Amino acid sequence: MPSGTQTGATPNSRSSSQTDEVSENPLSSPPNGVISSQGNAGDPASKPDQTGNDKTLPLSAGLYLVATPIGNLGDITFRAVDILKRAEIILCEDTRTSGKLLSRFGIKTKRIAYHEHNAEKMRPEIMDRLGKGQAIALISDAGTPLINDPGYKLVRDCQTTGFTVTTAPGACSPIVALILSGLPSDHFFYAGFLPPKSMARQKELTRFAPIPGSLIFLESPKRLAASLRDMADCLGASRPAAVARELTKLFEEIRPGTLGDLASHYDEAGAPKGEVVIVVGPAPAGSDEPSAEDIDTRLRELLQNHRTKEAADILARETGLKKRDLYNRALELGQQDQDK
């Protein structure tokens, strides 16, 4: 899945000059001997091989969802490496991108591309392989597979058919960003990527506004400032948030602030490097019953960039108040401002 950004792992950590490549780390390699996987605990094939040959015992048949690092190679698990070595094939988003990671750990398992553009065509072949008793691993370019990546339909088909599905969990940029944001994590909603066009983006944001929890978004650096402006507009400029980038890499950065302040910062600073995760905190307690003064202030904010009907619709979604009442009040405010 798309990675987040930044780390500051150990003093020996190094990040590649390319922000989308994994970083070296002295803890990257598993120790001598096998730390074995997987499958059903009672299956002999899932027990450690004491011979030191990690290819002696095959994996039990099934689909293995394996998380990979989002930046720092030291975040791969010994179990993940073992599964990837023992699997008969590895399904990758991009075989070249995954090849760099697999080569680093001496994994020579055959790679097959599996992504959103070929998933429909590939699934029957994968199901056929599983039916013949093969062990198949599924990874994404970075992070936990199926999070913003294809794969859930394959899992569903395996469950329907009765094939074993298990996972070797690991790094996941939305969760990493959430726990580093300093924002409430007891309730949260992962929204993935927002639409690239402002109007469609604002429409989506108004749907998310009433959710009683932190909101997590992935975003392109070049659209970061525009998205933050739309968030400030639709969710409230004073709403707490954090922008996380370069997660687990050498130049990891977590920038907290209000949506309004963050939008202003990136308007001036320009697009940052690396992939970005935005975490937006819940609306302040009691915001479901705003005062008349708060309503007027928010309506005036919205009317600066929206038509009266749109402003009323956005605020209705934010507060749960009747759209017609807000529309009429917006008309009154507009008239008052004209009379001044």
| pLDDT tens per residue across span 286-304 | 555 677 888 899 899 888 8
Q: Lowest-confidence range among 102-106, 125-129, 178-182, 309-313?
A: 309-313
**Looking at the predicted structure, is the pLDDT value of residue 37 above 70?**
no
Phi, psi of 143 (to 5 degrees): 90, -155
Domains 31-171 and 174-280 share a fold: no
Confidence bin at 263 (pLDDT 50/70/90): very high
**Looking at the predicted structure, is the pLDDT value of residue 38 above 80?**
no
CATH architecture of the domain covering 174-280: 2-Layer Sandwich (3.30)
pLDDT score recorded for residue 23: 42
pLDDT score recorded for residue 194: 96
pLDDT score recorded for residue 45: 42
pLDDT score recorded for residue 13: 34
Stretch 195-220: mean pLDDT: 93
High-pLDDT (> 70) share of the chain, %: 81
Q: What is the dihedral of CA 277, 282, 283, 287, to 10 degrees?
A: 170
Q: Which of 141, 132, 134 is nearest to 114 (CA)?
A: 141
pLDDT score recorded for residue 289: 63
pLDDT score recorded for residue 314: 86
Residue of higher predicted confidence among 48 and 281: 281
**Looking at the predicted structure, is the pLDDT value of residue 225 above 60?**
yes
**Looking at the predicted structure, is the pLDDT value of residue 35 above 60?**
no
pLDDT score recorded for residue 339: 74
What lies within 8 Å, CB to CB, of 211 at 6+ separation is: 189
Burial degree of 249 (CB within 10 A; 0-12, 13-18, 19+): buried
Give, in words, the CATH class of 31-171.
alpha beta
pLDDT score recorded for residue 253: 97
Strand arrangement, sheet containing 62-66: 110-113, 89-92, 135-138, 62-66, 165-168
Domain spans in the chain, listed from the N-terminal domain onward? 31-171, 174-280, 292-339
Q: What is the dihedral of CA 321, 322, 327, 330, to 10 degrees?
A: -20
**Looking at the predicted structure, is the pLDDT value of residue 79 above 70?**
yes
Stretch 239-259: mean pLDDT: 96
Stretch 123-129: mean pLDDT: 97
- H helices of the chain, in order, are 78-86, 95-104, 119-131, 152-161, 173-181, 198-208, 224-235, 259-269, 292-303, 308-319, 323-339
